[in-house]
Structure 1
Amino acid sequence: MSVVINTNSAAISASNNLATSNAMLQRSLNRLSSGSKIVNPSDDAGGLAVSMKLSATIKRTAAVNDNIANARSFLQTQDGAFQTATKVLDRMSELKVLSDDVTKNQTDKDNYDTEFQQLKKQLSALVDEKFNGVSLFGNGGSGSLAVATTEKGSAGNTVSIDQPDLATQIGATLIGNDSTTVTAMGISTITNAIQNIASLRASNGAQSNRLSFASEMLTVNRENLEAANSRIIDVDVAEESTQLARYNILVQAGSSMLAQANSSTQVALKLLG
């Protein structure tokens, strides 16, 4: 091998190897410090694209689950109104039976009717109850709200939650400004209203259960999506720390060899001396 001064091939080769090792070391450091396997798009362009789609799906899934939780709160509030209405009707039926007591005089019956009329007004107030500005019950007719149960939104599966016409289910003579007295009221009118509300509560519970299962499915889906995304984008710390140690040694060895290669041309000075 000839001895030259102007071109040091060994130093150039050592320099190139050192630059490569240093670049790999920096990439490994970036991965470990960020916790992500894909620091730059060039690391895994295809994987990055898939991860971005999965991340968006995960966020939409979480948002849908929040919406379902709010819908269940709507149903729970609605059921609270049903419970209150049932208690009111129970008391009204009791007042009706008490007013039929033949030992009661008209004043006694009038006193029962005073409470009876106040309870009518309370039922009327329940009909107008709202949840965050949304009516719990249909005004002038039954309605429904469509709750999306997939991350596709309204384009996917939905669950309808009812906004029943509570006023109709209770009956006009038990609500509002109706002047029917407790003694004139038929007991069957009150018991029919109680039965109607019982059916509404059953429907409310069924819808709430369905939303609960939909939420459970979304939770499982989100967990699986998170795991899939993790396999694409998250760095394996054990594996990457091993690579870090390797590249660290290569950088140190490359630095030493570059210094050695740079000094190797000094043999020419001995020949000239």
Structure 2
Amino acid sequence: MSVVINTNYAATVASNNLASSNTSLQRSLNRLSSGSKIVNPSDDAGGLAVSMKFSAAAKRSGAASANIGNAVSFLQTQDGVLKVAGKVLDRMSELKTLYSDPTKNSDDLANYDAEFTQLQSELTSLTGEQFNGKDLFGASQSVQVSEDGGQTVALASKDLASTTSGVGVLTSTASSANLGAVSLSEITDAIQNVATMRATNGAEQSRLGFASEVLTVNKANLEAANSRITDVDVAEESTQLARWNILVQSGTAMLAQANQSSQVALRLIQ
């Protein structure tokens, strides 16, 4: 093998190997310090694109789950009002039965009417209850229960003030001013209407509960899929770190040796 001065091939190769090992070492350090396999887009361009979609879908799932929780709170508030309305109607039916007692004098009947009038006013107040500025007994609503918006749950309209499907015939705005003008069947029909609304409310809460459970599972799976793309395997990467660290140290030593090898030529010309 010829001895040359201007070109040190061994040192060039050692330098290239050292640079490559040092780049890999820095990559391992960046991955371990960030906890992510994709520090730069060039690390995994395709994986980064998929990861962004998974991450966005998981966040939408969380938002949809929050919306479902708010819808459940709305329904629970609505049911609370319906429960009170049911108690008011129970008392009205009791008053109507007591009012029918032939042994009661006019003063007694007036007292019953006074309470009945107050209960009518309370029913009227209940029909106008709101949740965060939204009418509890307004139009039907639709709740998104999937991250892509493809699945929704409709919350049925419950018109508590209706004279046919609510308690409208018994409110303070009704023509029935006293117990004498109200029939027991009107009260029992109103009780049935409220019972139906509560049953519908309960069914909607049940469905939303299952929808929320599905969203929770989907969100967890999306996060797991995203983790497989982006999260670094610490055990594997730490092994690579040790490897590249040794190669950098040995490459540095070999580069120093290669730089010294060209000095052999000095001995030939001394």
Coarse TM-score class (shorter-chain normalised): over 0.9
Question: Does the 8 Å contact 1:137/1:164 carry over to 2?
Answer: yes
Residue of 159, 170, 178 corresponding to 1:165: 159
* TM-score, with structure 1 as normaliser: 0.95
Q: Residues of 2 paired with 1:32 and 1:75: CA distance?
A: 47
The residue aligned with 1:146 is 142
8 Å Cα contact 1:61-1:222 kept in structure 2: yes
Report the alpha carbon displacement of residue 108 of structure 1 after superposing the two structures with TM: 1.4
CA contact 1:136–1:163 (8 Å) conserved in 2 = no
The answer to whether the 8 Å contact 1:173/1:180 transfers is no
**Is 1:176 aligned with 2:176?**
no
Q: Structure 1 residue 101: deviation in Å?
A: 2.1
Unaligned runs of 5+ in 1: none
Q: CA RMSD in A?
A: 1.1
Q: Superposition pairs for residues 98-177 of structure 1, below 5 Å?
A: 98-138=98-138, 143-153=139-149, 156-168=150-162, 169-177=165-173
Asked if 2 retains the 8 angstrom alpha-carbon contact of 1:135 and 1:163, the reply is no
One-letter amino acid matched to 2:44: D
Structure 2 gap ranges (5+): none
Q: What is the CA distance between 1:269 and its match in structure 2? A: 1.7
- Once the two structures are overlaid, the 10-residue window that deviates more, 120-129 or 95-104, is 95-104
Structure 2 distance, partners of 1:46, 1:172, is 62
1:188 positional shift: 1.2
Alignment match of 2:226 (pick from 229, 235, 258): 229
Deviations 1:158-212 (A, max 9, x none): 1110231111133433112334212332111111111111111111111111111
Q: CA deviation at 1:233?
A: 0.8
Secondary structure of the equivalent of 1:146?
Answer: strand
State the match for 1:190 in structure 2: 187
The alpha carbon displacement at 1:44 in A equals: 0.8
CA distance in 2 between partners of 1:75 and 1:172 (Å): 21
Partner of 1:253: 250
Equivalences for 1:47-126 in 2 at 5 Å?
A: 47-126=47-126
Identity of aligned residues (%): 65
Other structure's SS at 2:140 match: strand
| Matched length | 267
Alignment of 1:212 onto 2:209 = yes
Q: Which amino acid aligns with 2:61?
A: T
| Structure 1 counterpart of 2:152, one-letter code | T
Q: d(CA) in 2 for partners of 1:171 and 1:228?
A: 52
Cα distance in structure 2, aligned partners of 1:176 and 1:27? 76
1:100 positional shift = 1.9
Is the CA contact 2:78–2:136 (under 8 Å) kept in the aligned structure 1? yes
Following superposition, which runs of at least 4 residues in structure 1 exceed 4 angstroms of deviation? none
For 1:184, the aligned partner's letter is A
Counterpart of 2:242 in structure 1: which amino acid? A
